[in-house]
Structure 1
Amino acid sequence: MLRWLSNNFTSPARLRVQGVLGMNERNINCISGYNPRHLFPLVDDKLQTKLLAQDYGLATPDLLGVIRRQADIQHFSRFLPESGGFAIKPAKGSGGKGILVIQHSCGDRYLKSSGEWIGKQVIEHHLSNLISGLYSLGGNPDVAIIESLIHSAPEFSKFSFEGVPDIRVIVYRGYPVMAMMRLSTHASDGKANLHQGALGVGIDLRTGRALQAVQHDRPVYRHPDTGQLLDQLKINNWQTLLQLASRCYDMTRLGYLGADLVVDADRGPLVLELNARPGLAIQMANGMGLKPGLQAIDRHCAALRGPELPYNERATIAQALFTAEVCSARALHVE
C-alpha cells in the first residue's frame, strides 16, 4: 500500500526534521558546489546532449533531423518517418515547454498524443515559434530537434494517459539518491510534466516499486484517467536504469544531475534528457527530503580510498546506503 504525507510535512519545522532540501541550499551546496558552469551547455542544449550520448554509447531516441533556420521549416516533412509518429523539441527548452508529440500522420494532417488532429500549418507555426526562441532558456534563438517516437513499455500502459511515462533520477557525485516516475494525464495533455498536471510517483531506490503519488502536490491513489491503482506500479530492470543514470555522471561530470530516462517497448531504457538544475518536487513525490541521501553519499565518498568506482558499483552502493542509512528518514508520520 502506498504511503501518504501528513499535513505536518509542510511546516518549516517538519521540513528541517525530515531533511528537505531547499532551493537556496540546492543552488549553493549542490549546483554551485558540484556543477562547473562550463559544463552546463552539455545538458542545457538537448542536441548537444544527444550527440554526446551517442559518442559515449548511451541509447537515446533516434534523431531524425534538425531544423535551424526559418527557411527550412517548409521542408520539415523530409525528416519524418514513412510510418509512425515523431516528436518535435526545442534544443534549449525547459519544463517540457515547446514539445509537440505526434502519434500518427495522414497526408498533411497530424494526430497529437491528446487525440487532436492538426494541420501542416500548425506544425510550421510551432516550428517558427520554437526557432525564434519562444520556448528556450532566456528567449534566445533555438533549433528544432525531430526525434523518433518512443513507444512505452507495455507494463506501463495503464499507468499513463496518452503519453510515455519517464523516470527522473537525481544523481549526486555519481550515485543515484532519489527517483520518481512521472505519469501523463489528460490534464497534462499527454505530457509527463508535473506543473501541467502529470502525476509524480516516488520510487523506492532499492526495489523500483511505487512509494506514494501526488498530483499538484496532493496525494492520489489511482490514476485519474485510467483508474489504475498506483501502488501496483513496479519498474522492471530497475538496476539497469540506476546504472544508466550513474553513467550520465561519467558522461557529463556534473556532480548534481537530474537524469530523465524512459523505457521503450523495443529498445529498452533510453536517456531522454539531462538537467543540471533538477527541481525539488521529487521530494514531495517521495515523501522525504533529499538531504539524508546526500549526506550518506558524502560520508561514503569521504571514507573511499583509491580511484573512483565504476558506475555499476556506484548504483549498487547507493541502494545499500539507502537501506542502511537513509531508510530511517522515511518515518514521516503519514496517514
Structure 2
Amino acid sequence: MLRLASPLRLKRAGIVGMNRRNVELIAENNPRSMFPLVDDKLKTKALLRKDGIAAPRLLGVVRQTGQIKELPAFLKAFPSFVMKPSQGSGGKGILVITGRDGDSYVKPSGKTVPFAEVARHVNNTLSGLFSLGGKPDAAMIEAMIDFDPVFDDYSFEGVPDIRVIVYKGFPMMAMTRLSTAQSDGKANLHQGAVGVGLDIATGLAMRAVQFNRPVHTHPDTGADLTSIAVPLWRDIVELAAQCYQSSQLGYLGVDVVLDRTQGPQVLELNARPGLAIQVANGRGMAPRVAAIEALLRTEGAPNTPTGRAQWSMDVLAKL
C-alpha cells in the first residue's frame, strides 16, 4: 500500500509545500502589478526584446477573426512555425507545424491537417478557449526552434524544455521536461511528460520521474535518462538570472529551449511555478531558499546575473 509522507517528514526533508509557495514565495515576492508581463506572452516578448534576452522570433500575431483569411498567404513564407495563445497556460492551445504536404500542414506526428483545421484553432484561440480565465485572446506565430540534437533520443514528438526556478535573482533548482506519447507531445508533467532533475552546478541528470514515480528510461524511446548532460549549462543559468533583472519577480520560473545554432532561448516566464521540480530533483527547495536569504543579509551578496549564477552553481548544488 502506498503511504503518504507526514507533513513533519516533508518539512524535515526541506520540501516547500503549496501553502508556503502561495503565501511566502509568490505573495511576498511577486507584485501582482507585474503578473501581466508574464501572463501575456506578447508582453513577455516585448520585455525580453527590450533587455536583449534571447527568445524565439515572433513572426506574426492574429488579433481579429477577419485576419484569418490572410493566413494562408502569410504562412507560405514559413514552412514550419509554432502557434500559441498569448495568454494560455499549461501548454494548452499550442499548435506545432513542422512542414507542408501540398496545401496541408504537417504536425510533428506526421499527421497532415488542412488549413480549415488551422483556422479553427485560431478561432478557438481568439475566443479565449485556451486563455487564463477564458478571456478573448490573440494567436501568436513564432519561429520553430531548430532543437539541439542533444535531446533527440529523450523526447517524443514534442518540445523538450528546461525549467529553472529563480529566487530573488538566484537560480536555485532546475529540471528538463520531456514529452511522451502519453503527454501528447507536450512537456507537461501533469499530462505524463517526464521530469528530469538537473544538477544546478553542471546540468547533469540527477533523477527522473513520471507522474511523481521514479523512472530510469524514457517510456517511448527507451533512452537512458540518467545520461542526460545539458550543454551550454552556464549560459542557461546566467540567462535565467537575467530574467529576474527584467521581470523583478522574486519567485520565477524560466523556461528555456536549446536551439542548434542560436543557443539557449527563453520560451516563457512563469510567476507561479509549481513544486514538482522538487520531486524530479529528489530534494526540497527550503534549504536553498534559506541559504539565499542568509546571503542577502550580508554585504557580500552578488548583485549581477553573472555573480548570482556563479554563487548558485558553487553553493546551492551542495544543499
CA contact under 8 A between 2:254 and 2:266: conserved in structure 1?
A: yes
Q: Which residue of 2 aligns with 1:315?
A: 309
Please tell me whether residue 262 in structure 1 is matched to residue 277 in structure 2: no
Q: Percent of pairs identical after alignment?
A: 51
Please tell me whether residue 80 in structure 1 is matched to residue 75 in structure 2: yes
Q: Which residue of 2 aligns with 1:175?
A: 170
In structure 2, which of residues 155, 158, 161 is the aligned counterpart of residue 163 of structure 1? 158
Offset at residue 254 of structure 1 (A): 0.6
SS in structure 1 at match of 2:28: helix
- Measured against aligned partners, the alpha-carbon deviations of 1:89-133 in whole angstroms (never above 9, x if no partner) come to 000000000111111123321111222211111111111011100
SS in structure 2 at match of 1:161: coil
Which deviates the most, 263-272 or 82-91? Answer: 82-91
Aligned-partner residue type, residue 321 of structure 1? V
Q: Which residue of 2 aligns with 1:38?
A: 33
Offset at residue 81 of structure 1 (A): 5.5
Q: Which residue of 1 aligns with 2:46?
A: 51
Q: Give the whole-Å Cα distance in 2 for the aligned partners of 1:54 and 1:293.
A: 30
Q: Which residue of 2 aligns with 1:217?
A: 212
Offset at residue 195 of structure 1 (A): 1.5
Q: Give the whole-Å Cα distance in 2 for the aligned partners of 1:323 and 1:155.
A: 23
Q: Give the whole-Å Cα distance in 2 for the aligned partners of 1:49 and 1:275.
A: 10
Offset at residue 304 of structure 1 (A): 3.0
Please tell me whether residue 295 in structure 1 is matched to residue 287 in structure 2: no
Q: Which residue of 1 aligns with 2:149?
A: 154
Q: Which residue of 1 aligns with 2:222?
A: 227
Q: Give the whole-Å Cα distance in 2 for the aligned partners of 1:78 and 1:38.
A: 39
- Measured against aligned partners, the alpha-carbon deviations of 1:45-94 in whole angstroms (never above 9, x if no partner) come to 00110111111101111111000011111222344253531101000000
- Measured against aligned partners, the alpha-carbon deviations of 1:184-228 in whole angstroms (never above 9, x if no partner) come to 111122221112211100001111100111111111110111110
In structure 1, which of residues 101, 104, 108 is the aligned counterpart of residue 103 of structure 2? 108
Aligned-partner residue type, residue 209 of structure 2? V
Structure 2 unaligned spans of 5+: none
Q: Which residue of 2 aligns with 1:286?
A: 281
- Measured against aligned partners, the alpha-carbon deviations of 1:165-187 in whole angstroms (never above 9, x if no partner) come to 10000000000010000011111
Change (3 A) 1:227 1:299: same
Aligned-partner residue type, residue 213 of structure 2? R
Give the length in aligned residue pairs: 318
TM-score, scaled relative to structure 1: 0.91
Change (3 A) 1:10 1:104: farther
In structure 1, which of residues 40, 61, 66 is the aligned counterpart of residue 61 of structure 2? 66
SS in structure 2 at match of 1:179: strand
Q: Which residue of 2 aligns with 1:190?
A: 185
Offset at residue 246 of structure 1 (A): 0.2
Aligned-partner residue type, residue 17 of structure 1? R
Q: Which residue of 2 aligns with 1:28?
A: 23
Q: Give the whole-Å Cα distance in 2 for the aligned partners of 1:100 and 1:148.
A: 12
Q: Give the whole-Å Cα distance in 2 for the aligned partners of 1:231 and 1:270.
A: 24
SS in structure 2 at match of 1:33: coil
Change (3 A) 1:116 1:11: farther
TM-score, scaled relative to structure 2: 0.96
Structure 1 unaligned spans of 5+: 1-6, 327-335
Aligned-partner residue type, residue 168 of structure 2? R
CA contact under 8 A between 1:162 and 1:185: conserved in structure 2?
A: yes
Offset at residue 13 of structure 1 (A): 3.0
Change (3 A) 1:34 1:81: farther
Aligned-partner residue type, residue 218 of structure 1? R
CA contact under 8 A between 1:153 and 1:264: conserved in structure 2?
A: yes
Change (3 A) 1:207 1:86: same
